[in-house]
Amino acid sequence: RAKSAHSGEPCFYDSQMDDAIRERRELIADLRAALDTESFELHYQVQAALPSGEISGYEALVRWRHPTRGMVPPSEFIPLAEKSGDIVPISIWILRQACFEAALWPNRHPVAVNLSPIHLADPRLVDTVRSALEDSGLPPERLSLELTESAIIHDRRFALGQLKALKAMGIAIALDDFGVGYSSLDVLRSFPFDRIKLDSSFVAEIERDDQAVAILRSVAGLGLTLNIPVLAEGVEQPAQLSIVAREGCSAIQGYLIGKPSRTLAEPDRVRRTMSLKPCVVDDGAAVA
Ligand code: C2E
Ligand code: MG
Ligand code: MG
Ligand code: MG
């Protein structure tokens, strides 16, 4: 922008960049206003245990109702808020909202909340979580936090201290998107995770790709050995469910049993979907 202003020449690339920068600035301004205008909402996606089909919890997934753009997905505005320095207040809202809503659920299932790496690095996080629980009345056993490996690679000692303090409160910690990050195995050894969530990209390929099945099997085995339950993310098809169950995963999440929604998935419906054909029999083989 500065260059073309100096030379007085119109420059295609610069004006295009101008647009991108302006749009980004606008979006950041809108993001800052969004908390005041109550434009965020949480949707909940069911998680269910294998092989019982019992609901094991619901993951809170944030949505932004933008005044003109409609629904902006978290994959667009969370990274933006992380870069613009606005993530912490948004993340605090998400945490508190999830606790207050879950405290009112007719069931006593846990709620899983995704935690930004930047919020994990905030020294006030433990106090924030404690007040969210106290103010909402949600017991700590009903809250779990989902973290990706990127949250712990920067300042490992500090991250470990935070996780230990949270766990000491009775909160569970899940390792999200496992398999698509950095030093997975080392991270598993040094951090007190209560659950591993295997990234959906592995599940997406298991019907066509033997390597994906082999990885799924290894991660499930690793979970068994380390005594950490493994949840498979992104299960969409009955055939994927039967493979995931056969290979020893402890739980699933995915469109097959429920999409993220304002209303909680019904236990009966989830159980019924999970016993769909091809059904899983005791020896682990799938019956077509
Ligand atoms: P994630 O935590 O791994 O969440 C799972 C994402 O996969 C969600 O996308 C969910 O809607 C989607 N998903 C679930 N089952 C299926 C399936 O069967 N098929 C397919 N194709 N997709 C499925 P969503 O809601 O768009 O969120 C994307 C990511 O944004 C999340 O990945 C998480 O990293 C981040 N995110 C979402 N909500 C929050 C939040 O409240 N706070 C933070 N910090 N991050 C969030
Ligand atoms: Mg998650
Ligand atoms: Mg994930
Ligand atoms: Mg993800």
Name which residue leads in pLDDT, 281 or 135: 135
Please check whether residue 205 is in contact with residue 179, taking contact to mean a CB–CB distance below 8 angstroms.
no
ipTM of the complex in this document = 0.98
142-165 mean pLDDT? 92
Substitution candidate for ligand 1 out of 61, 118, 144, 257 with most atoms within 8 A of CB: 61
3-state secondary structure at position 181: coil
Atom of ligand 1 nearest to the CA of 87: 44
pTM of the model: 0.91
pLDDT of residue 189: 86
Pairing type for strands 55-66 and 111-114 reads parallel
How far is the centre of ligand 4, averaged over its atoms, from the C-alpha of 177 (Å)? Answer: 6
Task: Report pLDDT digits (tens) over 79-126.
Answer: 999 999 999 999 999 999 999 999 999 999 999 999 999 999 999 999
Judged by its nearest atom, the ligand closest to the C-alpha of residue 234 is 1
Give the residue whose CA is nearest to atom 38 of ligand 1.
61
Q: Which amino acid, residue 158? A: F
Residue ranges around ligand 1 (CB below 6 Å): 45, 60-62, 73-75, 78, 91, 94, 114-116, 146, 176-177, 200, 234-236, 253-255, 260
Token readout for 58 is 């619901």
